[in-house]
Chains A and B, each alone.
Chain A
Amino acid sequence: MIGLNARQIALGGVPVLHDIAFEARAGEMVALCGPNGAGKTSLLRALAGLLPGLAVPDPRQVAYLPQGARSAWGLTVGEVAALGRLPHGDTNPDAIARALQLCGIADLRDARIDRISGGQARRAMLARVVATEARILLLDEPTADLDPDAAHAIMGLLAGLARAGAAIVVVLHALDLVRDYADRAVLMERGRIIADVPAAEIVPLAAAAFGLPWGLDPHPRLLPPSAR
């Protein structure tokens, strides 16, 4: 379980979060939704202890994946995944192999992360988070540059980790994915939590926050693999 209760959190003198009462329980996937600049990433970083003045959680228990994570060097996929073991101070080959397998990139182990596709690199970064075997996962748009098939694969993988007992907090823009995979959706606007609802009820609330109309889609659309 991970949570945050704070009246106000500032970054560089500018308040970025107000009146936050947030909690994610073990076995639950919570999606953070809302317009750009609503404070989703700030809340995630606060939970990871990355904002000034907050307690830093145990790195073995809490794994964090930032938005658009990149590597400064041409590490191999296996080396990136192995970084997830740094908090434990070991190189547990089983945990690393399992993480690569789960993320579907076991065959890319020796490939350099700057010589593979953006989607494959994203999976490698996720494998790093999975390899830590943390009980709490904080992920910032893990499906941002993935094709629909890969996005469903990643979300399915996260849902599996949640079912196995992990607490997962994930920033997501794709409301379809929120509805299909998350248990709860937390809607943010201007640094505040304005709604905390079961994921199935997110669309009308998010539509109001985005200032967009909503309706039932009469056109064909892609469904998650589970609909097969």
Chain B
Amino acid sequence: MKKQRATRAMIKGLAALLLALVVAGLLLGAGGFGWPAREILVELRLPRTLLAGLIGAGLGLSGAVLQGGLRNPLADPGLLGIGGGAALGGMLAFYWGVSAAFAPALPIGGLLGAGLACFALFTLAGRAPSGPALILAGVAISALAAALLTLALTLAPNPFALAEITFWLMGGLQDRSLSHLALAAPPILLGGAILLRLGPGLDALSLGEDVAQSLGQPVGHTLRWAAVGTALVVGGGTAVAGSVGFVGLVVPHLLRPWLGERPSGLLLASVLAGATLLLGADLLTRAAPMLLPLSQEPPLGVLTALLGAPFLIRIARTVAP
């Protein structure tokens, strides 16, 4: 009906916008706008553009799934400590020098960290994972991950490692190559496929756990797969791009006024909107040195946080009773 038409129009519009941004991402370079040499296109701009879209899509989708599954409009992989866990995992792979010897150790570390944070979250949240208890559990995990991260930074074996780690933690897609894309894509695509299948379970959960169970959609099943999918998507993304926050939180809120609040109705649009948002933000960081007196690109994670933090305050003001 009316809403289905709105959804279809929104998905078409987002897809067109995304395509335009992809083209812009391939054409925009440090020297300005234009068709680059083949090596630059394939080795630099293509992986960066695809990574921004892929990671943004995964973050947007996991935000929509977590908010729906936890019945909490403030849920987000970053706020819940899953992003922090992924950063810690990737950081440990850096720290022990494993990633230098064996490149896939970095995303694997990110995935393991995200998975561990997910597991801790659902253990701490208990039988009814909802509301303030869950946010508190997430804050606890975030704080723990941040503390361990700082500890590892303090103990970093040499100053170069420290600089490298700090740079990575700020989040960004500068100088990412095709091999980064090959590392991040499989877990993100797999996690995304898992998350996209959770629509009916999320819809049923909006009426509470008993109703979901009586509709043949047990809450434990839905939330376990939501956790696994989120860990894959966020772990893969964080391993390559560092900590990029707020995309998962913001995207579903941007879509609800247009598409309604039914969780399953937001999933596909969140994929496209997340990709569009992060690709747009990455283009902004690339264009910033040309437009502003900056000596280098601002980190992507800093930009999304600058955009996201005021948004979080606005949500808190409208959601709070």
Contact = CB atoms under 8 A, between A and B. Distances in A.
A128 B203 CA distance: 13
A70 B1 CA distance: 24
A86 B210 contact: no
15 contacts: A49-B213, A49-B214, A50-B214, A56-B213, A70-B208, A72-B206, A72-B207, A73-B263, A75-B206, A79-B203, A83-B204, A83-B211, A84-B215, A86-B215, A110-B2
B2 A86 contact: no
Interface residues of A, number: 31
Given A50-B214, A73-B261, A83 B203 contact: yes
Contacts of A87: 215-216
Nearest to A67: B210
Interface residues of B, number: 23
Contacts of B208: 66, 69-70, 72
A71 interface: yes
Contacts of B263: 73
B217 interface: yes
B260 interface: yes
B64 to A, nearest CB: 12
A62 interface: yes
Given A66-B211, A69-B207, A79-B262, 16 more contacts: A45-B210, A49-B214, A56-B213, A59-B214, A64-B211, A69-B208, A71-B207, A72-B207, A73-B71, A73-B262, A73-B263, A74-B261, A83-B203, A87-B216, A125-B207, A128-B207
Contacts of B262: 73, 75, 79
Interface string B167-199: 000000000000000000000000000000000
B191 to A, nearest CB: 23
B200 interface: yes
A121 B3 CA distance: 20
A45 B214 CA distance: 10
Nearest to A74: B261
Contacts of A74: 260-261
B272 interface: no
A59 B211 CA distance: 10
Contact of A86 (B1, B217, B260, B261): B217
Most buried by B among A45, A49, A78, A87: A87
Contacts of B3: 76
Nearest to A84: B215
B51 to A, nearest CB: 32
A86 B207 contact: no
Interface of A: 45, 48-50, 56, 59-60, 62-64, 66, 69-76, 78-80, 83-84, 86-87, 89, 110, 112, 125, 128
A73 B213 CA distance: 18
B214 A62 contact: yes
A140 B201 CA distance: 23
Nearest to A12: B127
Contact of B210 (A50, A60, A79, A125): A50
Nearest to B209: A50
Nearest to A59: B216
Contacts of A73: 68, 71, 206, 261-263
A48 to B, nearest CB: 5
Contacts of B205: 72
A194 to B, nearest CB: 26
